[in-house]
Structure 1
Amino acid sequence: MGTSSAPLAGVRIIESSMLGPAAITTSLADLGAEVIKIESPQGDYIRQMTWPIVEGVSLMHLHVNRGKRSLVLDLRTPEGVQTYLDLVRDADVVIEAMRPGGLERRGLGYDQLREVNPKIVFCTISGYGMTGPYAELPSHGVAYDVWAGLVKPETTEDGFAAIPEHPSMGIHAGPLFGALGVLAGVIKARATGEGCRLEVAQSDAAAAMDWYRSESWKAYERPESEVTGNASDGYVRRAPGTAGMRDGVRYQFYEASDGGHVLLQASEREFWENFCRGIDRPELFEANPGAKFADHAVGNVALRTQLKEIFLTRTAREWVDLGLEINVPIINVNTPQTLADDPQFQARFPWIPAERLGCEQQPSPIKYLDVEVPVPTKAPTVGQHTDEVLAEVLGYDAERIAALREAGALG
C-alpha cells in the first residue's frame, strides 16, 4: 500500500498477470498505486522461473511483484467472476498481462467490465500483441529482442549457436510503455468519465526502443540526393544507426592504465578543445580542430593512435575525474557486476535491503524532490492478502468470505 502523499495514491489497479509482463505495474506500485494481483489457486509460476532462486523464490518474482497484494480467485466459478467484477467497480485500471483474450474467455472482457465501470482503463500486454501472424505464438523475453534485431547469435568454441549476454529490452520497455499508456488513459477517464482499451506488445517495444537503427536503414533507402551523412563527414553516409560509431576517434573507447576502459565523447569542438588543453596537448586541437558539431574524426588513424597512447597514462577513475574538472564527457566502462561499486550508482541507487524485499533490489529511478514515495513491500505469496483485500476493499464480512471459500471461489 502506498503513502497518502505518493504521486499515484488513490489509483487502484486490478492485475491479472503471468510471468514478466507483470512488470507493467511495478513502477506504478513504486509510485504509490494500489495494485491487487489476482491469481489462480495455483498461483503465478513466476516464483519458480529463471535464476537466481532466493530462499525458494525467484528474483524475478521478488522484483516485478514487489509492492503488490495477492488475492486468489478461481475464475472458473461464477462467484469468483462476480468478486472480480466487484473489484473492478471502483478500480481505475485492469491489467491483462498474459496472452490476449484470457479475461474475455472468463466473461471478464472489456465490454463486460465497462458495464460495471464505464471509466475503467483496460490494458493488455503480451508478447507479440493482439494482431498479426504471431499473435498466438508463445514466447519469452529474449524473443522480442531477437525478433527486433537487437541480439545476434554467437558461436561457441564447439561450433554451436549460443545466446550471448545481453541487456533485456522488450521485456522491460514493454511494461514501461504500457504504464505510460495506462496513466494517459486514467487521466482521460477522470476528465471525461470514459475509459479506454489499449494493448502493448513487448516485441513492438523492443523495436521502438531501437528506432534509430531501423529508421536509419529506412532513410538510406531514399536516394543520396535526398538523404546524406553529416556535414562533419562531408555528407558521406556512415553506416546506419550506431554502427556508424565503430570507426570514430573523438567518440570512442580507450583503454586506461589500470586495464579498464573509458568512453570519450568529444564530438563537439568545444569539448574536444577542452580535452586537448586539459591534458596540455593544445597542438592536437590545432592540428585537428574538426567541425563544430558531431565530428567523430572518423578514420583518423594517426589521431586515434595518439589518443590510445594518451589514455594509457591514467586510470579510468582519473580520466572521469579529469572530465569533471575540464568539462569533457568521459565515462568509465562498467559491467553489471562492477556497476554497484561505481560512486555514481552508489549515490543515486541505494539498494533496498534484502530484509525488506527478500533480496537486494534497486529502487525506482524516478526521484521526486518534494513528494514522498513508499518503500516497496515484499512480493506476495499466493493469496497472501485474499481476506484482507476482500474485507478492506470490498467490505465483505467474515461470513461472506467464508461462503466464497466454501463455494471454491477462493481456491
Structure 2
Amino acid sequence: MLSGIRVLSFTHFLQGPSASQILADLGADVIKVEPPHGAFERSWTGPGRLINGLSPFFTLANRNVRSLAVDLKNPDALEPLLELVRSSDVLIESFRPGALDRLGLGYDALKAINPKLIYCSLSGYGSDGPYVDRPGQDVLVQAMSGLAAATGRADQDPTPVGACVVDQHAAVLGAMGILAALHGRERSGVGTRVESNLLNAALDLQIEPLNYALNGWDDSRSASGVSSSYYKAPYGVFAAADGHVCISLTSLATLSELFDDEWFASIGEENSFERRDEINDRVANYIVERPTSEWFEIFDDHRIWSAPVQNYQQVIDDPQVNHNNSFDSFDHDTAGHIRVLRHPVSYGGERPGVRTAPPALGDHTTEILAEAGYSPEAIATLTANKVFR
C-alpha cells in the first residue's frame, strides 16, 4: 500500500524501529540509518540470550528494511544524507530532542530543502518541557503515568504490566500520525511535523480510568486485586483448582444462579462497586473448588463472559491466534529459522508478511548511495574515509 514511499529511519530501541517496521510492512522503502557499530538493538536482548549471535530484539522490529551505516558526526556525511532527504517522503527519528538539529538534520533545516517531507519525532516526553532531558523508557513512563499505580492489590506495591505496552503503543501512534500526514499532503502538497511520545501514549492507554479521574473519581485499587480500580466486581482473574480463569462484567443475579447463592442477588447491583471486595472474595471461594475445564463448561451454559489465563506457549498454540495467521518466519544466514509476530492488521483479508529478513549492518549502503547519485568512485572514497560503512 505504501509502495513508492521512501522513509529515512534514524531510530533505535523499540518505539522508533517498530513504527518504521509498520510502514515497511505496508510496502514503504524504509532505510534504517545506523552508526558504524550498529544500532543498539542489534546487540541488546532483555534475557541476555542470542540466536546464534542474532539478537531476538533486533528481529522483532527490523524486517523489510534496508541498512545504511554512517558516522553522523563526520561532517562529510551531511551532504549525502541531505541528498537522500531530497528524495524521501518521511523521516522518523527517535534521538533525544535536539540531537538531529545539532547535526544539521532538524525539521526546520530539512523542510527548507524538501517542503513535502513528513518529519516524525518520537521521544519520551515530547520535544520540549520540564522533562525533555529525562530518560524516556517504558517502565519509567508506566510509573510516571499512573499505569503502575493502578495495577495490583491495594496492599501491594504498584506493579508495571508484563510487556513494553507503552513503547509499542507510541510506535503505533507515530505510524498513524505519519499515515495521516501523508494523506494530508495529498491535499495540501506540503509536509508537516508529527510527534509521538511515550508519556502521551501511556495516558492514551488509560483513556477510561483517566476520564473518571479527570471528573472527580477516586482511583483506589481493590484489596482483592481482582477488579480494576474502576470496575465493579466480579472482573478479573480468579484461581481455580488447577489454574486460573478470567471473568468479566457478570451481573449479581447471574452469579446467584451460577453458584446457587442468593447472597449475591441480595446485595443489589447498585452496590456492586462499593462492595466489590466482598463479592470478589466470595466468588474466589467458589472458583477454587473446581478445575478450569469444568468452569468453562459452566460459564458457557450461563453465558458468562470468560477466558482462560494462558502463558505464552499456550498463546502460541491457541487456535484463534493461529487461525488469524498471527505468526511469520524467515531464514537468516547465521541464525537459521526465526519466527516473528506478523503485522497486526489485515488488508483485503491478508496480513503483510516478511519480504526481507532484518539486514546485516550496512547491507545496503552502496546501493542507497548509488540511488542518491553517487558514483562507484565517490562511494569508495566515502567508505574508505569511514564516513559510511
Fold shared by both chains (TM-score > 0.5): yes
- Matches of residues 86-235 of structure 1 in structure 2 within 5 Å? 86-151=83-148, 166-220=162-216
Change (3 A) 1:264 1:132: same
Equivalent position to 1:379, from 358, 363, 370? 358
Q: CA deviation at 1:18?
A: 2.4
SS in 2 for 1:98: coil
For residues 324 and 80 of structure 2, the distance between their equivalents in structure 1, rounded to whole angstroms, comes to 42
Is the Cα–Cα contact under 8 Å of residues 266 and 296 in structure 1 kept in the other structure? no
Confirm whether residue 403 of structure 1 aligns to residue 381 of structure 2. yes
Equivalent position to 1:347, from 301, 323, 327? 323
Is the Cα–Cα contact under 8 Å of residues 120 and 193 in structure 2 kept in the other structure? yes
For residues 228 and 148 of structure 2, the distance between their equivalents in structure 1, rounded to whole angstroms, comes to 14
State the match for 1:228 in structure 2: none
Is the Cα–Cα contact under 8 Å of residues 256 and 314 in structure 1 kept in the other structure? yes
Equivalent position to 1:37, from 25, 32, 39? 32
SS in 2 for 1:243: coil
Confirm whether residue 254 of structure 1 aligns to residue 254 of structure 2. no
Letter in 2 for 1:348: N
TM-score (ref. length: structure 1)? 0.77
Q: CA deviation at 1:298?
A: 5.9
Letter in 2 for 1:363: R
State the match for 1:264 in structure 2: 247
For residues 314 and 343 of structure 1, the distance between their equivalents in structure 2, rounded to whole angstroms, comes to 24
TM-score (ref. length: structure 2)? 0.81
| Structure 2 portions without partners, runs of 5+ | 152-156, 222-226
Letter in 1 for 2:24: A
State the match for 1:67 in structure 2: 64
Equivalent position to 2:5, from 2, 7, 11? 11
Q: CA deviation at 1:162?
A: 11
Q: CA deviation at 1:312?
A: 5.0
SS in 2 for 1:57: coil
Is the Cα–Cα contact under 8 Å of residues 238 and 284 in structure 2 kept in the other structure? yes
Change (3 A) 1:410 1:297: closer
Letter in 2 for 1:32: G
SS in 1 for 2:32: strand
Is the Cα–Cα contact under 8 Å of residues 33 and 69 in structure 2 kept in the other structure? yes
For residues 158 and 146 of structure 2, the distance between their equivalents in structure 1, rounded to whole angstroms, comes to 15
State the match for 1:227 in structure 2: none
Q: Greater shift after overlay, 52-61 or 128-137?
A: 52-61
Letter in 2 for 1:10: G
SS in 1 for 2:339: coil
Confirm whether residue 83 of structure 1 aligns to residue 61 of structure 2. no
Letter in 1 for 2:40: Y
State the match for 1:47 in structure 2: 42
Change (3 A) 1:374 1:191: farther
Q: CA deviation at 1:350?
A: 4.3
Change (3 A) 1:344 1:370: closer
The alignment covers a number of residue pairs equal to 373
SS in 1 for 2:196: strand
Letter in 1 for 2:382: L
1:58-95 Cα deviation digits (max 9, x unpaired): 22212122221111223334442121112122211101
1:220-278 Cα deviation digits (max 9, x unpaired): 16xxxxxxxxxxxxxxx885893134x613x3433334x11112224368xx65x877x
State the match for 1:231 in structure 2: none
Identity of aligned residues (%): 28
Change (3 A) 1:383 1:297: same
Equivalent position to 1:27, from 22, 34, 55? 22
Is the Cα–Cα contact under 8 Å of residues 36 and 71 in structure 2 kept in the other structure? yes
1:345-383 Cα deviation digits (max 9, x unpaired): 333354323635863221122122345624253222221
Q: CA deviation at 1:179?
A: 0.9
